[in-house]
Structure 1
Amino acid sequence: MQDALVEFTQSLPLWLQWAGVMLAAAIPFIESYFGTLIGAIAGVPLPIAVLAAVVGNVISMLVFVFIAAAARQKVLARRGAGAATDAPSPRRQRVKRLFDRFGVPGVSLLGQTVLPSQITSGMMVSFGASRNAVIVWQVISIIIWAIVFALIGQAGIALFR
């Protein structure tokens, strides 16, 4: 899949390759870190690749956060009317335990090693975390991960040249 995304990005006109990086980074599990690598491999200048990957990932994450916040409001409104609650899945229980232990900053910074930022941000909001706190910490995390992978990618590209 990553090869296809690199080929897609390289097939775009040079002045539009940043958009390919942005689109790739909006995909869960690709995110800012692999989006940055895709841009670097495709030949997009590293600062532009990082910025495009961050923007694509942030936009995608915001969509998930706002959808989760709206869904939470609907569920809470129904519960007020006496609706039954379903037992959470084992994965959701695990994320909830991590959330309770590390809070929004910890899950935002470390959660991307396990699940995409879009999913972890949506889950945190569904647990009742402040939507704005989730957004701020996810943006910080997305930027940090993009920069770390940009440096790794730059070192890897330099090694193979």
Structure 2
Amino acid sequence: MIEALQDFTSSLPVFLQWFGVMLAAAIPFVESYAGAVIGVLAGLNPVVAIIAAIVGNFVSMVVVVLSAHRVRTRVAAGRGDDLGGDPVEESPRRRRLRERFDRYGVPGVSLLGQTILPSQITSAAMVSFGASKNAVILWQTISIVMWGVVFGVLATLGVSVLR
């Protein structure tokens, strides 16, 4: 999949390749870290590749957080409570994410959660658990920037070693 996204990005006109990186990074499991690598490997300036990947991942994450918040608010209003109704059976993955959320909070899940699940999924889950949408957006943004820069720099160093 990464190779197909890299080929897609490389096939675009040079002035639009950053847009291809943004689109790729908006895809769950590609995120800012793989998007930055795709951009660097496609030959984009590393700074442009990293920024484009961060922006693409950020935009998709914000759309998911705002949507999850809107759904949670409507469900709570329909129940007439703050979602304190009957507990719903959780999948093992969701239960594990909730345990990590209870243990590490929004910052911990945001910074480390991308090693397990995409930022879009962890963001929506945290909002559904009752976390503040603003806190989720803030910490996910920090995480997206951190992971995008780290992997973009590593890709840049790897490409320069291979030359």
Output the TM-score relative to the length of structure 2: 0.94
Shift of 1:85: 4.3
Please tell me the residue identity of whatever aligns with 1:100: D
Q: 1:1-161, aligned counterparts within 5 Å?
A: 1-80=1-80, 84-161=86-163
Please tell me the residue identity of whatever aligns with 2:158: G
Shift of 1:83: 6.8
Please tell me the residue identity of whatever aligns with 1:114: I
Alpha-carbon displacement from aligned partner over 1:17-70 (angstroms, at most 9, x marks no partner): 000000000000000000000000000100000110000000000111011111
Please tell me the residue identity of whatever aligns with 1:33: Y
The runs of 4+ residues in structure 1 deviating greater than 6 Å are none
Q: Residues of 1 paired with 2:116 and 2:88: CA distance?
A: 24
Q: Which runs of 5+ in 1 are unaligned?
A: none
Query: Percent identity at matched positions?
Result: 58
In 1, are the aligned partners of 2:64 and 2:123 still within 8 Å (CA)? Answer: yes
In 1, are the aligned partners of 2:28 and 2:119 still within 8 Å (CA)? Answer: yes
In 1, are the aligned partners of 2:10 and 2:17 still within 8 Å (CA)? Answer: yes
In 1, are the aligned partners of 2:46 and 2:153 still within 8 Å (CA)? Answer: no
CA RMSD of aligned residues (A): 1.5
* Paired residue total: 161
Q: Residues of 2 paired with 1:90 and 1:32: CA distance?
A: 26
